[in-house]
Amino acid sequence: MEKNIKVPTKQLTRMDFTSDQTVKWCPGCGDYSVLAQVQRVMPDLGIPKENFVIVSGIGCSSRFPYYMNTYGFHGIHGRASAIATGMKLSNPDLSIWIVTGDGDSLSIGGNHFIHLLRRNIDVNMLLFNNRIYGLTKGQYSPTSPLGKVTKSTPMGSLDHPFNPPALALGAHASFVARTIDKEPKHMQEMIRRSHQHHGTSFLEIYQNCLIFNDGEFASYTDKEVKHDNVLVLEHGQPMIFGKNRDKGIHLAGNRPRVVNIGSEGQWTVNDLLVHDEKDWIIASILSHFTYREDLPTPVGVFYAVQQTVYEDLLLDQCQQAVELKGAGDLHELMNSGDTWIVK
Amino acid sequence: MAKKLKHIDDVTIRFAGDSGDGMQLTGDRFTSATAIIGNDLSTLPDFPAEIRAPAGSLSGVSAFQLHFSSHEIFSPGDNPDVLIAMNPAALKVHFDELARGGTIIINTASFTPKNLKLAKYDTNPLEDDTLKDFVVYPIDMSRLVKYVCEDMNISPKMVERTKNMFALGVLYWMFNRPMDTTIKWLKEKFAKKPEIVEANTRALNAGFNYGSTARIFTTNYKVNAAKLRPGTYRNISGNYATSLGLLAAAVKSGLPLFYGSYPITPATDILHYLAEFRNFRVKTFQAEDEIAGVTSAIGAAFAGSLAATGTSGPGLALKGEALGLAVITELPLVIVNVQRGGPSTGLPTKTEQADLFQAIYGRNGEAPIPVISARSPGDCFYAAFEAAQVALKYMTPVILLTDGYVGNGSEPWIIPNIDELPEIKPNFFKPGDGREYLPYGRDEESLSREWAVPGTPGLEHRIGGLEKEDGSGAVSNDPDNHHKMVTLRAQKIANVVNDVTPCRVIGEQSGEVLMLSWGSTRGAARAALQKLLKEGKSVSHLNLRWINPLPADLGEILGRFKKILIPEINLGQLAQIIRARYLIEPYQLNLVRGRPFLTSDIINAVDKLIG
């Protein structure tokens, strides 16, 4: 079935996407940055404002829909993915953005998260990962590192954390990316890429919780050290990082390691792993840099491939059924099979 | 020897065999042939929770009961007149309920020492005096089907599996049923396997011929067509009727139908049926769990679909939180609960009415939801349609309670004329008429809010699970506003009473005893009423359709009777609601056995009250 392609009738601006509600996140919260970047990018996506829907679950990030002057739905804990699925199947023309957190989507909503990804429904997910429960005031989350001391784990947490990109790749995600709250330009680019992808886009956003987990991502955001700790992925480019761009990722067998490139060393650019967004193995290797002390943290698009999209197939089936049986006729259906007349 | 043909009015047959013997299918075929003749009928499938319990075991027995008659009937019958026992376990399980002097047709081939032991028979009941008070037809069906298929090149296992068709053939002879619909059905069902069609057709014919020629059979029976209301009929099961009702509501409202559901017995068939309606652009979604079933439907409702989800008791429990979300977002949604035995996994394949409290109260906070029940398989169509009407008019979730008995059971059904079904007007806000859209602005009379669907320019708004400010729908923590909203939501659901049809009392409009039933218990209660009135008893019957809200005239009606008897398949849930609401003390009849009431259960209870 053909989609109704609608375009905005006028150039939209950031103000068109700003609601009249007072934003109530803590001052300095990383969420402000995400809201600002989304409001900056959306006007330029070529979609009429009325076709955007923001869907969220529960948690600090999930207040997001109230701050956007679009259609919005603030759901219940963990269920944003399932709610969004129903919306998209109901109206595939909508541009649906799920705003969720590490607790919302990886703990209580873990089931919906993996099934959304494997179905590859064409929605965008912004997962704010602050590695802590903020709205319930500071318990460890499913992405908190082992041994995390919080109010609910005074002697340290006992469970191994989820690795979101690895989990997404394991669930057959067709688009996996990561960005950081303090890198607005990069985040805008990732939001744009998420939108462009046909299928479920999973964008993990490292987001600092000033109150309960301040500094969790400091090594990726502090000017002094970030370049040595963050690997910015670019499709088709060798994996180089470092303040002086003198470090790179070399693959020894199937083990990634950091090597120094430059005049004095034995390694050159030619020895480095070249990023390929379409290579699941590379994406998988990169996803396992997460939590590793000896490797930089990748940001950018890990993986982006075209896979069949659930609602496209659903619409195809409807079309096929019409071609096969004719457009549904209720009278005919009800009178089908064995019938008899009583006079 | 000439055989006698005898006219009778009313027969109850029970097919019983191993789970793999095809008893449900055999029962379905007999039902179709019976429906076409024009008998009134009512069925009760009764199968184990296991797909294939150990062969020959007592727990593996699957049964199908069919009551048919030359007059109007309401229940699948109490004690069968005829039992088809395909193995010893089937005989053992169902023997006690067989009417005294009844007929038993037995496949003797399965009465082996091993099967007798599995059925816990110390001696072979065919050889001792166990069956002395019954008319017994012992037939070696396995051997006979082997004969009729011996020139065919098919496996012995396949041949053995046709014995249910042989048994069916015997019954078709015995009760004068036409065989052509069954043969046609075989041809369609096994279109790609002509040898299976051939073998089964031969077995069916062989059974029929065996009845007409074998000396053991002396009499066959004729049950005339019932005088039913004029119209075009089909046989329909409750779950299929529910599916058609939802589809009809979608067609009549001009909305696309979305059905999000997770498979659960005995509700899954609704998902199966609706999945066949892709040419109506029905979108069925088999969700990853019960919660995704309902939340996807809530998403679809927000996006402008007629949204529904279906489940059974344990699934409704999982959906509870999401139903609260549908209540506070005031979105139209139909939730079908095909009730089964609980608590927990309980009796998955058996019927019960014990989810009434769950449907009415099972959510956190003050979260009122209208609750409607279906009284019979065919009525599921109208109940589903009405549930959708109310959901769309009042912008609310509505719970439809059916149960395993009406869901799987079937009856003849007058096919309604689509043109005579009412149009449904969704409560959409119309942009451009100068009014500002208030997401929680309300219709003065119904208190329903207006629906604005994503994709509509200028009506962008946000809703969700947090408390809303009256009118604007903005998030509000104001104490007085919360009280106001709680009250408004309650009043809105109370207003549904204006769309609840007045009560219909069958029998005297005042008197000694009123049987007050709800949902599927209507069948046994109406059947009991028929008999009690014939005996000249002062008894009347009222079946409730809407339980929340209760009909406006109910209180006044209850006051006209000296005694109110409430039969229900739970420990008194409706009774408690009636007691609390009307400050009366009803008499209760509660039997929670995983099966519908027998007519005699209700008659006995009424007799005790009347004395």
Helix locations, B95-193, DSSP H? 113-118, 141-148, 156-160, 163-174, 180-189
**Residue that has been written with the tokens 């500071």 in this structure:** A138
Q: What is the pLDDT of residue A4?
A: 59
Q: Spell out the SS3 assignment of B294-307.
A: HHHHHHHHHCCCEE
Q: Distance (Å, rounded) from C-alpha B312 to C-alpha B345?
A: 10
Q: What is the pLDDT of residue A3?
A: 53
**Amino acid identity, position B361:** Y
**Best interface-test mutation with A: which of B188, B262, B273, B279 has the largest number of A CBs within 10 A?**
B279
Q: Spell out the SS3 assignment of chain A.
A: CCCCCCCCCCCCCHHHHECCCCCCCCCCCCHHHHHHHHHHHHHHCCCCHHHEEEEECCCCHHHHHHHECCEEEECCCCCHHHHHHHHHHHCCCCEEEEEEEHHHHHHHCHHHHHHHHHHCCCCEEEEEECCEECCCCCEECCCCCCCCCECCECCCCCCCCCCHHHHHHHCCCCEEEEEECCCHHHHHHHHHHHHHCCCCEEEEEECCCCCCCCCCCHHHHCCCCHHHHEEECCCCCECEECCCCCEEEEEECCEEEEEEECCCCCECHHHCCECCCCCHHHHHHHHCCCCCCCCCEEEEEEEECCCCCHHHHHHHHHHHHHHHHCCCCHHHHHCCCCEEEEC
- A259 occurs within a structural domain: no
Domain boundary assignment for chain B: 4-222, 234-420, 511-610
φ/ψ of residue B230, rounded to 5: -65, 145
Q: Do A21 and B460 touch (CB under 8 A)?
A: no
Which chain A residues in 16-55 lie under 8 Å from chain B, judged by CB atoms? 19, 21, 48-51, 53-55
Nearest to B162 by CA among B134, B122, B204: B204
Q: pLDDT band for B215, please (50, 70, 90 cuts).
A: confident
The three-class DSSP label of residue B513 is strand
Q: Taking a C-beta distance cutoff of 8 angstroms, is the pair B610, B538 a contact?
A: yes
What is each CA distance from A168 to A175, A276, A285, in whole angstroms?
9, 17, 13
Q: Do A73 and B247 touch (CB under 8 A)?
A: no
Q: pLDDT band for B451, please (50, 70, 90 cuts).
A: very high
Q: Distance (Å, rounded) from C-alpha A136 to C-alpha B447?
A: 35
Residue B477: burial class (beta carbons within 10 Å; 0-12, 13-18, 19+):
exposed
Helix locations, B303-444, DSSP H? 313-329, 356-361, 379-394, 404-408
The angle at the Cα of A260, spanning A257 to A263, to the nearest 5 degrees, equals 155
Among B47-61, B105-119, B476-490, which is the least confidently predicted range? B47-61
Q: Distance (Å, rounded) from C-alpha A213 to C-alpha A181?
A: 14
Determine which helix (DSSP H) or strand (DSSP E) holds B260, and give its type and residue range.
strand B257-261
Determine which helix (DSSP H) or strand (DSSP E) holds B199, and give its type and residue range.
helix B194-213
**Amino acid identity, position A272:** L
CATH number for the domain including A181?
A: 3.40.50.970
Residues in B touching A313 (Cβ below 8 Å)? none
- A300 occurs within a structural domain: no
**Best interface-test mutation with A: which of B34, B296, B456, B459 has the largest number of A CBs within 10 A?**
B296
Q: What is the pLDDT of residue A262?
A: 78
CATH 3.40.50.300 is held by the domain B234-420: no
Nearest to B346 by CA among B358, B335, B334, B361: B358
Q: Taking a C-beta distance cutoff of 8 angstroms, is the pair A120, A199 a contact?
A: yes
Q: What is the pLDDT of residue A10?
A: 86
User: What mean pLDDT do residues B483-487 have?
Assistant: 98
Asked whether residue B485 carries a pLDDT value surpassing 60, the answer given is yes
Percentage, residues of chain B above pLDDT 70: 100
Query: What is residue B430's DSSP assignment?
Result: -
Residues in A touching B307 (Cβ below 8 Å)? 86, 90
What is each CA distance from B537 to B11, B75, B524, B533, in whole angstroms?
25, 20, 17, 5
Query: Could you tell me how many CB contacts below 8 A there are between chain A and chain B?
Result: 205
The angle at the Cα of B377, spanning B371 to B381, to the nearest 5 degrees, equals 60
Distance from CA of B225 to the nearest CA of A (A): 9
**Residue that has been written with the tokens 């149960």 in this structure:** B403
| N-to-C CA span, chain B | 51
Q: What is the pLDDT of residue B52?
A: 80
The three-class DSSP label of residue B99 is coil
Q: Which residues pair with A116 in a beta bridge?
A: none
Q: Taking a C-beta distance cutoff of 8 angstroms, is the pair B170, B208 a contact?
A: yes
Q: pLDDT band for A151, please (50, 70, 90 cuts).
A: very high
Q: Distance (Å, rounded) from C-alpha B78 to C-alpha B527?
A: 10
Q: Distance (Å, rounded) from C-alpha B107 to C-alpha B110?
A: 6
Q: Taking a C-beta distance cutoff of 8 angstroms, is the pair B188, B228 a contact?
A: no
- Cα torsion angle, B425, B429, B435, B439, sign: positive
Q: Distance (Å, rounded) from C-alpha B222 to C-alpha B212?
A: 14
Percentage, residues of chain A above pLDDT 90: 94
Q: What is the pLDDT of residue B537?
A: 94
Fold of B4-222: Pyruvate-ferredoxin Oxidoreductase; domain 3 (3.40.920)
Q: pLDDT band for B49, please (50, 70, 90 cuts).
A: confident
Q: Distance (Å, rounded) from C-alpha A170 to C-alpha A148?
A: 25
Nearest to A68 by CA among A28, A16, A24: A16
Q: pLDDT band for A1, please (50, 70, 90 cuts).
A: very low
Which chain A residues in 297-316 lie under 8 Å from chain B, judged by CB atoms? 314
**Average pLDDT for chain B:** 96
Q: Do A21 and B463 touch (CB under 8 A)?
A: no
Question: Structural domain tally of chain A?
Answer: 1
Residue A269's CB is within 10 A of a number of other CB atoms, namely 14
In this structure, are strands A71-74 and A52-56 parallel, antiparallel, or unpaired? parallel
Q: Taking a C-beta distance cutoff of 8 angstroms, is the pair A276, A236 a contact?
A: yes
Write out pLDDT tens, residues B253-296.
999 999 999 999 999 999 999 999 999 999 999 999 999 999 99
Show the tokens assigned to B549.
Answer: 């809200």
CA atoms within 13 A on the CB side of A56: 28
In this structure, are strands B511-518 and A95-101 parallel, antiparallel, or unpaired? unpaired
pTM over 0.90? The answer is yes
Residues in A touching B287 (Cβ below 8 Å)? 82, 85, 115
The three-class DSSP label of residue B181 is helix
Q: Taking a C-beta distance cutoff of 8 angstroms, is the pair B58, B212 a contact?
A: no
User: What mean pLDDT do residues B387-397 have?
Assistant: 98
- Total count of residues recorded for chain B: 611
Residues in B touching A88 (Cβ below 8 Å)? 299, 303
Q: Do B292 and A79 touch (CB under 8 A)?
A: yes
Q: Do B454 and A87 touch (CB under 8 A)?
A: yes
Write out pLDDT tens, residues A277-324.
999 999 999 999 999 999 999 999 999 999 999 999 999 999 999 999
Q: Which residues pair with B566 in a beta bridge?
A: B588
Asked whether residue B1 carries a pLDDT value surpassing 60, the answer given is no
A98 touches chain B (CB under 8 A): no
Q: Distance (Å, rounded) from C-alpha B121 to C-alpha B111?
A: 10
Nearest to B425 by CA among B383, B456, B394: B394
Pick the residue from chain B with its C-alpha nearest to A91: B303
- A56 occurs within a structural domain: yes
**Residue that has been written with the tokens 């959510």 in this structure:** B363
A325 touches chain B (CB under 8 A): yes
Distance from CA of B278 to the nearest CA of A (A): 5
Write out pLDDT tens, residues B63-108.
999 999 999 999 999 999 999 999 999 999 999 999 989 999 999 9
Q: Distance (Å, rounded) from C-alpha B399 to C-alpha B549?
A: 12
Q: What is the pLDDT of residue A68?
A: 97
Q: What is the pLDDT of residue A9?
A: 81
Q: Distance (Å, rounded) from C-alpha B491 to C-alpha B445?
A: 11
Q: Domain range spanning residue A60?
A: 14-216+308-312
Nearest to A84 among B38, B260, B299 (CB): B299
A150-168 as b/e: b if 16+ CB within 10 A: beeeeeebeeebbbbbbbb
Fold of B511-610: Rossmann fold (3.40.50)
Asked whether residue A2 carries a pLDDT value surpassing 60, the answer given is no
- A36 occurs within a structural domain: yes
Topology agreement, domain B234-420 and domain B511-610: yes
**Amino acid identity, position B163:** K
- A203 occurs within a structural domain: yes
Percentage, residues of chain B above pLDDT 90: 94
Asked whether residue B172 carries a pLDDT value surpassing 90, the answer given is yes
| N-to-C CA span, chain A | 44
ipTM for this model: 0.97
φ/ψ of residue B172, rounded to 5: -60, -40
Q: Do B463 and A74 touch (CB under 8 A)?
A: yes
Q: Distance (Å, rounded) from C-alpha B393 to C-alpha B423?
A: 12
Q: Which residues pair with B402 in a beta bridge?
A: B338
Which chain A residues in 56-95 lie under 8 Å from chain B, judged by CB atoms? 56, 58, 65-66, 68-76, 79, 82-91, 93-94
Asked whether residue B434 carries a pLDDT value surpassing 90, the answer given is no
Show the tokens assigned to B94.
Answer: 């169902």
User: What mean pLDDT do residues A222-235 have?
Assistant: 97
Q: What is the CA radius of gyration of chain A?
A: 23
Residues in B touching A337 (Cβ below 8 Å)? 234
